[in-house]
Amino acid sequence: MDTCACALELLGMLVYVGAWLCTLTTTILPQWLTMSTALLPVESYELGLWETCVVQDVGGMECRAYDSLLGLSTDLKLARILMCTSLAVGMLGILVAIPGLYLVNSCVDHGGYRTKKTLTVTGGALGMISGVLCLIPVSYMAHLAVIHFFDDKVPDVVPRWEFGDALFCGWAGGFLLIVAGLLLITSCSCSQVEPQPVLQRRYQVMSADASFRKRTEYV
């Protein structure tokens, strides 16, 4: 494998791990949606997948988990399922792609380069699927926030939810997961020639050297 393909593999894995951690942070953070009111300017509210928080300007923060799973809205249930699925698929993709890296000495006796290439492509495809699964709930929650924010039926004095930091983190994580999957797949397409095993190359060199000595002695 050439240097370009190895560099793409390493870059893809680094982006992969970083994007997965970004997705994990998005799932845990309570700042999916934020809201502040003019009546209480010293307090703001934050809505997450697992809890809601009240933040005060003096530095205090109080969070409370949702009381009942059945009492959650369909939007939060769907977002939880998709984000957890994205994390599971992303972790599976990382575990599959690592043995397929050229620098990792594994799967040599079980198909060699073809097996490693298959593992790398599979890991990249799983990374792209994980990115799409992450972007769906994040974009959907942002879509609902925009619809409610510009709803003419709601009076102007009623506070509205706005984008939180977790949404931007989720967009970044989902996009980087797709980029990481593309890098891993591209690294396999860059290396078309299957490298020969070390023992086979050594045997060919020794055979060529022996034949050259015989020709020299004959002359």
Spatial separation of the C-alpha atoms in residues 105 and 99, rounded to whole Å: 8
Tell me the two tokens of residue 127.
């990374």
* pLDDT for res 191: 59
Judge residue 155's burial from the number of C-beta atoms within 10 Å of its C-beta, 0-12 exposed, 13-18 middle, 19 or more buried: exposed
C-alpha dist (Å) from residue 98 to 31, 93, 102, 184: 32, 9, 9, 11
> Do residues 132 and 181 make contact, with C-beta atoms less than 8 angstroms apart?
no
Cα atoms in the 13 Å half-sphere on the side-chain side of 63: 12
Which residues face 56 on adjacent strands?
43
Give the domain 3-192 fold. Answer: Butyryl-CoA Dehydrogenase, subunit A; domain 3 (1.20.140)
Q: Mind spelling out the 3-state secondary structure of the chain?
A: CCHHHHHHHHHHHHHHHHHHHHHHHHHHCCCCEEEECCCCCCEEEEECCCEEEEEECCCCEEEEECCCCCCCCHHHHHHHHHHHHHHHHHHHHHHHHHHHCCCCCCCCCCCCHHHHHHHHHHHHHHHHHHHHHHHHHHHHHHHHHHHHHCCCCCCCCCCCCEECHHHHHHHHHHHHHHHHHHHHHHHHHHCCCCCCCHHHHHHHHHHHHHHHHHHHHHC
Least Cα distance to 106 among 93, 123, 119 occurs for 119
- pLDDT, one tens digit for every residue, the chain (219 residues): 567 778 888 899 999 999 999 999 999 998 899 887 766 667 888 888 998 888 887 777 888 888 877 778 888 999 999 999 999 999 999 999 988 887 776 555 555 678 888 888 999 999 999 999 999 999 999 999 888 888 777 666 667 778 889 999 999 999 999 999 999 998 887 755 444 444 444 445 455 555 545 555 544
Q: What is the pTM of this model?
A: 0.78
Tell me the two tokens of residue 198.
């070390």
Torsion of CA 100, 171, 73, 163, to 10 degrees: 160
Cα atoms in the 13 Å half-sphere on the side-chain side of 195: 16
